[in-house]
Structure 1
Amino acid sequence: MKYRQLSKEQFLELHQEFAQFLATQQIDVKEWEEMKVKKPQIAEEELNIFSDVVWEDVLTKTNYLEHISEHYINLFQCNSKEIIRIMVKCSKASFSFLENKDFNQFFNNPLANEFDFFKASKKYSKERNLEIFELIEMGAQISSGELFTKMKSLIS
């Protein structure tokens, strides 16, 4: 398996797509129910294959990620050859990007002295989608890129 198996909730969300996937494998509902009981290893492999197909599709379409923690914002633009990272750090101990009022304070005055910006880029050391997947597994979330674009314009 290239990525990880989708969660039960994700499978429930993708119920229709999974049914279509099974149909392409020429497996109907009755056969699937039988397979889960009589051949659980094969059923598990079908779940793994479907999970990889879904992850591959999602990751290929991903252009931006963000990870917001108490004192840091990490923003990523995932190009075809490299990943660009913008990090915002707050030096004020009582501040938290996770609190709405603090985040709004930052958003209204991002150039205040307590905020430091760092920008870097690096070529992928692994396959692009694997690196994006690893960032997601570490807590990053897929985003529209709106925050990345705003921060990029501030520091350019």
Structure 2
Amino acid sequence: MKYRKLTKEQLLELHQEFSTFLASQQIDAAEWTKIKNEKPEVADEEIAIFSDLVWEGVLLKVNYLDHISEHHINLFKCDEDSISRLYIQLKDTSKSFLNTEDFDWFINNPLHSSIEYFRATKNYDYERNLELFKLIEMGSVISKGDLYHSINQLTD
């Protein structure tokens, strides 16, 4: 397995797609029920294959990832061969990026002395989608890149 199995909730959301996937393998509903009951390891393998296909399709479309924590923001621009990172550190520990008022303060005062910015770009250490998946598993969320572009212009 390349990534991780989809959760039950994710599989339920993708029920139609999963049914189409099984049909492409010439497995109908009755056959799937039989496989689940008699060969759970085969059913598990089919779910693993489908999960990898879904993750691969999602990750191919990722252009930006955001990871916001209490005192740090990591914004990633995910190109084909390299990844650019904008890192924002809030030195004032009485504020938190997770607090709406404090985040709004940050947006309105981006050049305040209690905020530090760092930027870097590097080639992927291994396969692009695996690196992006790792960042997602660590808490990053897929975004449209609005915050990345705003901060990038500010710090250029």
Q: Percent identity?
A: 55
SS in 1 for 2:83: strand
Q: CA deviation at 1:4?
A: 0.3
Query: For residue 26 of structure 1, what is the aligned residue in structure 2?
Result: 26
Superposition TM-score, scaled by structure 2 size: 0.99
Structure 1: tracts of 5 or more residues without a match? none
Q: C-alpha separation between the residues in 2 aligned to 1:36 and 1:79?
A: 40
Hey, what does 1:94 align to over in structure 2?
A: 94
TM-score (norm 1): 0.99
Q: Deviations over 1:60-107 (max 9, x none)?
A: 000000000000000000000100000000100101000000000001
Taking the aligned partners of 1:121 and 1:40, their CA distance within structure 2 comes to 44
**Counterpart for residue 117 of structure 2:** 117
Alpha-carbon distance, 1:108 to partner: 1.1
Q: CA RMSD in A?
A: 0.5
Query: In structure 2, how many angstroms separate the alpha carbons of the residues matched to 1:12 and 1:102?
Result: 37
In structure 2, distance between residues paired with 1:48 and 1:4: 7
1:21 maps to a residue whose letter is F
Q: Distance in 1 between matches of 2:69 and 2:93?
A: 13
Task: Please state whether the residue corresponding to 2:76 is helix, strand or coil.
Answer: strand
SS at match of 1:126: coil
What pairs up with 1:5-154 in 2 under 5 angstroms? Answer: 5-154=5-154
Mapped to 2, the partners of 1:22 and 1:99 lie a distance apart of: 44
**Gap runs ≥5 in structure 2:** none
4+ residue segments displaced more than 4 Å: none
Query: 1:150 & 1:29 partners in 2: Cα distance?
Result: 49
